[in-house]
Every structure is written in structure tokens, then in C-alpha cells.
Amino acid sequence: MTANSHTPRIMPDRQANPDMTNVYHIAYAPGIKKAYLFHWNCNLKCRGCLCKKEINCLALEENLDVVARDPHLAPPRGPESFLSLNGIMETLRKVELKEVLFEGQEATIDPHFAEICRRLKAEFGVYITLNTNGLKLPDLSNVDEVVFSLKAVTPELYLDYTEVPNTRMLENFENIFRSGKKLRAEMVFIPGYIDIAETEVIAKHIASLSRDIPLRIDAYFECGDNTWRRATPEEMRQAVAAAKKHLNTVTCTQQTTDNLDKKDLFFEVKRLF
């Protein structure tokens, strides 16, 4: 997820507590021993930001209806509280842990990002995955895998969608690949906007580095005041086919009210914070 201009910009009070992080929500899947750390605030203003509809984990039971919610309702309020570094560790000590996924808005702009990763790796020895828009390249020494959201490769389209140029993002995508870090790419398919043509542009760009970088295509669903409609199953099949001309591994999520097509939904997901 990325932030947007309609989402309240609430930040932790670091003057009161310099150890306060941007983490406002932690979810946990006991069946796979995986925790999800949600970070607040972003360095992009994506028009299709999911935070216009929901800021907490979609796999929680109370959020499984998110696709069907009226997109024109007022956006959710920002977080009520944040966790300190010690608060994160104390919360995660309550469960058995094998994996941690950094997500929410944009984790890399948390000033404590590197230290959170270091402490998680040192105490729990967990596999750490970072979901990122790639605009900022932090210390990734304790990150095992990066899931990189490309948004768009065509410069004008990326700028229109995010209000930020994509030059640095594309440079960082290549830098992460060249570093040898495990890398996956993702995009959101938006009919009539970031559509079949742009899907193929994105796939070609990824393939210019390696055909073996996996791509996941997420189906857009209505949020905020956008005029775009939900992607259909047929459009998603066409998008996957277009990307597979250039990449060896392409998957998609067709998000509906009864199936978000996420492997984690085979497991109970509960709120830790």
C-alpha cells in the first residue's frame, strides 16, 4: 500500500519518545508463524491507494468485505497509536515466529527501519520480506527478500499516478537486482489506465534485467474518488498472458468479495496490535 493525498498525515511523537517507530498495526498468522508489520506514512501519493478504504490487514476477519465496501465513504482515520522499538519486540515475543513481512504504507521511510530489521534477525532469526515502492533504498543487510511495487514504467503515467517521477525508483529496482538480493515485482492492473499495454511495458522492463524475476499482478478494486472500475477475470488473464511473453513467472490476484486469492487466507490471521 502507498499513501495518498486524502489520507491524514499522522506521525508518531518522537519528541516524547525518540524510539517510537512508524509501526501502527501488527497482524499474525499462527498457521504459518508469520507476522505483518504495518507502517504509516508514505513518500508517494498514489491515486489508487488501498488506504482510502482500509489501513489494517485485509486478511483479518473484519476486513474480508473490503472489496465490497462503498468506495465513496470517507477514508479511514489514521492510526490511534504507534509502537516503540521495544514495543514491537515485546509484542512479537508473545508468538512463535518464522517470518516477518514489512508492509502498510512505506516501511523504508521509518527512521528505525534498519534497527527493527537488525533486532528481529538477531533475536528471532526470522525470514524478513520488505514490501516497498522502491523510492528510497535503505540498509537491506538484514532483509532476505524485496517485493518491489513498480506502479508504472512509462514516466508520464507513473507521475500522474504517484505525483513523483520514477527515475529513482527504476534505478533502485536495478540496484537491488544487481546486489543479488532476492527480488520479486508487483503491479496493480487498472482497466483503462494501467492496463494491458502498460503491463507489457512493465514486464519488458523487468525482463531487461532478467526473465526470472517473478511478477505478481494485483487486480484493482474501487477506492476513493477514482472513476476506474474493477478489473474482470478475463482482463486479468489477458494481463498475465501479456506479461508472460517476457517473464517466466507471472501470477495474479483477482480480488472479489469471496476470494482475495491470498495464500495467507488459508490460515487464521489475528491482530496482535
Residue pLDDT, tens place only, 110-139: 999 999 999 999 999 999 999 999 999 999
Residue 8 scores a pLDDT above 60:
no
What is the 3-state composition of the chain as percent helix, strand, coil, each rounded to the nearest 5?
30, 20, 50
Contact 201, 23 (CB under 8 A): no
Question: What domains can be seen in the chain, in order of their start residue?
Answer: 23-271 (3.20.20.70)
pLDDT (tens digit per residue) in 162-186 = 999 999 999 999 999 999 999 999 9
- Measured between alpha carbons, how far is 221 from 214 in angstroms, rounded to an integer? 22
Residue 242 backbone phi and psi in degrees, to 5: -65, -45
pLDDT in tens, 197-218: 999 999 999 999 999 999 999 9
Q: For the segment 45-58, what is each residue's pLDDT rounded down to a tens digit?
A: 999 998 888 999 98
The rounded percent of the chain whose pLDDT value lies above 90 is 77
pLDDT score, position 15: 66
Grid coordinates belonging to 134: 522502491
Q: Looking at the predicted structure, is the pLDDT value of residue 231 above 50?
A: yes
Instruction: Provide the β-strand partners of residue 189.
Output: 219
The contacts of residue 206 (CB under 8 Å, 6+ apart) are 150, 185, 213, 215, 246, 247
pTM here is: 0.90
pLDDT of residue 14: 65
Determine contact, residues 222/186, Cβ cutoff 8 Å.
Answer: no
What mean pLDDT comes out for the span 22-36? 98
Q: Which residues pair with 84 in a beta bridge?
A: 20
Sheet holding 23-29, edge to edge: 250-253, 215-219, 182-189, 145-149, 127-132, 99-104, 34-39, 23-29, 270-271
